[in-house]
Amino acid sequence: MLELDGLVKAFGGFHAVDGCSMRVNKGEILGLIGPNGAGKTTLFNLIAGALQPTSGTIRFLGEDVTHLSTDALFHKGLVRTFQIPHEFHRLSALENLMMVPPHQPGESLFANWLAWGRVRKAEEEVRRKAEETLAFLELTHVAHERAGNLSGGQKKLLELGRTMMTDAQLVLLDEPAAGVNRTLLRKLEEKILILNRERGYTFILIEHDMEMIEKLCHPVVCMAEGKVLIEGDFRTVRSDRRVLEAYLGETPTAIERNEAEHDPQVETLRAQELPREDL
Ligand SMILES: Nc1ncnc2c1ncn2[C@@H]1O[C@H](COP(=O)(O)OP(=O)(O)OP(=O)(O)O)[C@@H](O)[C@H]1O
């Protein structure tokens, strides 16, 4: 579905992405991990068209999309989760879903809005889809709550919902677990899995939460210093010497934090030095 070939992104003389090649197959949930500064977000920006690569190519569904804009990629079904735009915080959860940008794959909402006779029908359809999306995400009870008042986890679910309004094919999720409590995290994981298995969404997911990576992702790709170090199943990647070395220096590493959950001794030590939510 997505092929990256020799991607480079230079900022001055510094290569934030330094010759990245990888493939994402339809139906996968690919987990992108790596220590801080590895180049994961820059790679996402390149894939989503927010940054232009210095060299290399990106192919999506067989087509060279290297120099396409975010908008054009969005139109083709390659969608990055949007942070809920600041100005939408005062709108309700339902309105946020109804206000997905124009040029979504499928029909153009704005074009329909302009065609006077179709206004009501288009709005009804969009509202119905937004309501279904809220029901799927179990957010119906906050449909009329301002988005700004939702919890961190509810906002993440709503972001996922905004991608669902577009009928996306490939969704880029940037640290979905960040700032989400454990209960809503389980729900978010469950919804991502359903979208993947039952609705055919392919995901690439950047995440520092190794528990989430282990549960959802196959394959897992580890980046360091702008390069792909290794790709494989979670356990293989986690125990690879190069991966452990790449994480060295981060204290505690995301991988150690994950292992602490399985090691009572480490857990006790960590409990003494870290707030509970970091475990
Ligand atoms: N616009 C920019 N100008 C200069 N350097 C940049 C720019 N954007 C990113 N970088 C640098 O590129 C490197 C990779 O950054 P990036 O944010 O892609 O890493 P990351 O793997 O997403 O890290 P994290 O997990 O901390 O989010 C970092 O050293 C960063 O400082």
Question: For the chain, which domains are there?
Answer: 1-77+169-248 (3.40.50.300), 85-166 (no CATH), 252-279 (no CATH)
Residue 255 to residue 209: CA distance in whole angstroms: 8
What angle, rounded to 10 degrees, do the helices at 152-164 and 182-197 form? Answer: 10
**Which ligand 1 atom is the nearest neighbour of the CA of 16?**
12
Q: Looking at ligand 1, which atom is closest to the CA of residue 38?
A: 21
Does residue 178 line the site of ligand 1, with CB under 6 A?
A: no
What counts of helices (H) and strands (E) characterise the chain? 12, 10
Tell me the mean pLDDT in the region 156-161: 90
pLDDT category at 265 given cuts 50, 70, 90 is: very low
pLDDT digits 0-9 by tens, 162-211? 888 887 899 999 888 888 888 888 999 999 999 999 989 999 999 989 99
Using the predicted structure, report yes or no on whether residue 276 has a pLDDT greater than 80. no
**pLDDT over threshold 70, residue 33:** yes
Check pocket membership of 39 for ligand 1, CB cut-off 6 A. yes
Residue whose CA lies nearest to ligand 1 atom number 31: 37
Question: What is the C-alpha radius of gyration for the chain, rounded to an integer number of angstroms?
Answer: 20
C-alpha 131/C-alpha 118 separation (Å) is 20
- Contact between 158 and 97 under an 8 Å Cβ cutoff? The reply is yes
Q: In this structure, are residues 212 and 33 in contact, taking their beta carbons and an 8 Å threshold?
A: no
Q: How far is 34 from 51, CA to CA, in rounded Å? A: 20
Q: Which residue has the higher pLDDT, 216 or 114?
A: 216
Segment 66-94 shows an average pLDDT of: 83
Hunting for tokens 């030590």 — which residue is that? 269
Structure tokens at 124: 């009804």
Q: Which residue from 7, 9, 11, 208 has its CB within 8 A of the most atoms of ligand 1, so it is best to mutate?
A: 11
